[in-house]
Copies of this chain bind each other. A is one copy, B any other.
């Protein structure tokens, strides 16, 4: 059965906070993409990262199983290259099957405080 959602999702507001405070990895600052694949086929996603002052980088491959969720810390993407902490970026997630994508940031730059923000990513190919 086909899953719920869309095949292309956009997040313009990326910037992994730097530095972090508190215990790792729980309190490490991060930008995260949370992907839910409710369908019955696994999916090979491709993430493209856009910058202010250079050409886009990617695709970053991310696999997600059928009927699975995956929370991708963008800090952890290293191939083809790591995203520099504190650098402004945006990203596009492309999936061969419908998925839903949510953006989440955790900011622990200040000791003793956790800032959080997030939003549903923007879908561009709604059926």
Contacts and interface: CB of A to CB of B under 8 A. Distances in A.
Interface of A: 4-5, 8, 10-15, 22, 26-27, 32, 34-36, 38, 50-53, 55-56, 67-71, 88-90, 92, 99-102, 104-105, 107, 109-110, 112-124
Residue from A71, A99, A105, A113 having most chain B Cβ neighbours under 10 A: A71
A102 B13 contact: yes
Contacts of A100: 10, 12, 90, 122, 124
Main secondary structure of the interface of A (DSSP, over half): strand
A50 B34 contact: no
Contacts of A114: 107, 109-110, 113, 115
Contacts of A112: 110, 112-113
B71 A50 contact: no
Given A10-B38, A12-B102, A50-B69, 19 more contacts: A4-B8, A4-B10, A11-B36, A12-B34, A12-B99, A13-B104, A22-B110, A36-B90, A36-B92, A38-B50, A52-B69, A52-B71, A56-B67, A69-B89, A100-B124, A110-B112, A110-B113, A113-B113, A115-B115
